[in-house]
Amino acid sequence: MILTGKNYIAGLISSKGKTTFKAINPSNATELETTFHEATIDEVNEAALKAHEAFAIYRKKSGKEKALFLDAIADEILNLGDDLIALASAETGLPIGRITGERGRTMGQLKLFATVLREGSWVDARIDTALPDRQPLPRADIRYMQIALGAVGVFGASNFPLAFSVAGGDTASALASGCPVVVKGHPSHPGTCELVAMAINKASEKTNMPKGVFSMVQGASVEVGMAIVNHPHIKAIGFTGSTKGGIAIFQAANNREEPIPVYSEMGSTNPVFILPEALKTRSEDIAKGLTGSVSLGVGQFCTNPGLVFLNNDENLQNFQKLTAKHFEETEAGTMLNKGIKSAFDIGIQHLASNKVDVKLLAKGKSSLEGFKGSAHLFETTAKSFILRDSLEEENFGPSTISVIADSKEELLASAKKMKGHLTATLFGTENDLNNYSDLIDILEQKVGRLIINDFPTGVEVCHAMVHGGPFPATSNSRSTSVGTAAIYRFTRPVCYQSFPEDLLPEELKSDNPLGIMRLFNGDYKR
């Protein structure tokens, strides 16, 4: 498949700018062939304008029509075949097997949203029929449903070149809700972005969607992204990436003349608590599983367990010895890009520097080839953790800190002190979980997903998933970026009062022509 290195604006290929860049293969630190053209501000403006124009048509498409579009995107991604897999692997250093799995996940989430659209009840229709005889005042007929917000800007992350990128979760949920999308391609995998943009364009043509329903602009500088955020036709942002980037975009969006919602999914350290009986009875299992979870994908998951809380009891040393052995046996792995590798190395140096009361317990195998990162296991005390905010910060890569508490009170105090995270995990027996129910209470306030006796890496795409959490894990804890509930990030409720039947949307007509579930005078029914 031939890459153009250009931008995809409302179905047309465009390269007006002079600034170019190339992708780097992180396995060997060499440049890949294609030259990519960074979008100009004019090109971004054109994409936003076309998205705005397309919105008028796209928002009126039925659930079934939008479902066909999403299914077609999934099919066209599959039709890209091995070229997509090979290029994504070359641009990210992620193994072929991982990319193939991620392609399945990406297609699966598009198809899952398609099923939601076909079923139709997601619009959350509510109907309170008129009560003309009510005393002292009659009640009007009042009907409510969720509608699309408008054009959405999407920023994907480097660590999921398919599932959190051009046709990733943010794009799928925005298109499902009825919003056109302008994607900022990720400069770490621009070729992958272009191939997926081609697939979306084909799907859009095949299903007769308005041209501006999708655009993708390339860029390796913040200007392109900020032009999307600041464009008056952009009505919401979905972002996955670094804390620095997510906060900058959130602030810019709030400073606009018309502020817009920003869903920034950022970093997280995902605390794991290993409770006393579990530590005693399942040391080897947990030590091995923890090492696997920390080093999975070279630790480049937002759900990577970066903090492990343990009680200082007679089983601690054995567990630490077992975990250290597994860490030492872990091979070095290719990190996504030079910036991520150097940020990881700086984080490791900071932890190992003696300035933060942390000691290095074990280091995995190392390699100088490409941008390779080695697994690191550190240890500190709960007292130090409580005093030092920096120990809670994400060090994106295969590293974790064991935090040792001298008492249950110290463990609870550490949990209370924590900021927002995507997940928290407890390993415990039934007894442990009963004895630590107060810990669960605290953690419920801190995270989007609580896990018992399993590791946080691996985020199922389903209806009940929450991939979010209080700040700084995200900029808005009231939602999720994974799973079908993500659709509500790009909608708002509208209420229709005293509307004649023929002016009501299909979803709210009295005879329920779509057969969807609705809250009808206080009762859920079809």
Could you list the residues that contact ligand NAP (CB under 6 A)? 155, 157-160, 164, 184, 186-187, 219-222, 225-226, 240-242, 245, 248-249, 265-267, 302, 340, 394, 396, 422, 467, 481
Q: Answer for the pair 427, 309: CB distance below 8 angstroms, yes or no.
A: no
Cβ count within 10 A of residue 439: 23
Complex with ligand NAP: residue 315 or 400, whichever CB lies closer: 400
Provide, rounded to whole angstroms, the least separation between the CB of residue 491 and ligand NAP.
20
- State yes or no: is 302 an active-site residue: yes
Complex with ligand NAP: residue 105 or 126, whichever CB lies closer: 105
Which residue, 229, 230, 234, is CA-closest to 264?
229
Q: Provide the token pair at 201.
A: 């364009």
Q: Provide the token pair at 172.
A: 């799928």
Phi and psi of 405, rounded to 5°?
-105, 140
Provide, rounded to whole angstroms, the least separation between the CB of residue 228 and ligand NAP.
8
What lies within 8 Å, CB to CB, of 127 at 6+ separation is 142, 143, 144, 508, 510, 518, 519, 520, 521
Provide, rounded to whole angstroms, the least separation between the CB of residue 36 and ligand NAP.
11
- State yes or no: is 265 an active-site residue: yes
Closest-by-Cβ residue to ligand NAP is 245
Provide, rounded to whole angstroms, the least separation between the CB of residue 313 and ligand NAP.
32
Complex with ligand NAP: residue 21 or 58, whichever CB lies closer: 21
Q: Provide the token pair at 274.
A: 């290993």
What lies within 8 Å, CB to CB, of 149 at 6+ separation is 177, 179, 235, 236, 261, 490, 491, 492
Complex with ligand NAP: residue 290 or 473, whichever CB lies closer: 473
Choose, from 46, 102, 194, 265, the residue flagged as catalytic. Answer: 265
Complex with ligand NAP: residue 63 or 468, whichever CB lies closer: 468
State how far the Cα of 394 lies from the Cα of 303, in Å rounded to an integer: 10
Choose, from 76, 302, 392, 410, the residue flagged as catalytic. Answer: 302
Residue with tokens 């900029």, as numbered in its chain: 475
Complex with ligand NAP: residue 168 or 178, whichever CB lies closer: 168
Q: Edge-to-edge strands of the sheet including 12-14? A: 12-14, 7-9, 214-217, 181-184, 151-155, 234-240, 262-265
Q: Provide the token pair at 202.
A: 């084909």
Provide, rounded to whole angstroms, the least separation between the CB of residue 422 and ligand NAP.
6
Provide, rounded to whole angstroms, the least separation between the CB of residue 268 and ligand NAP.
6
Known catalytic residues? 265, 302
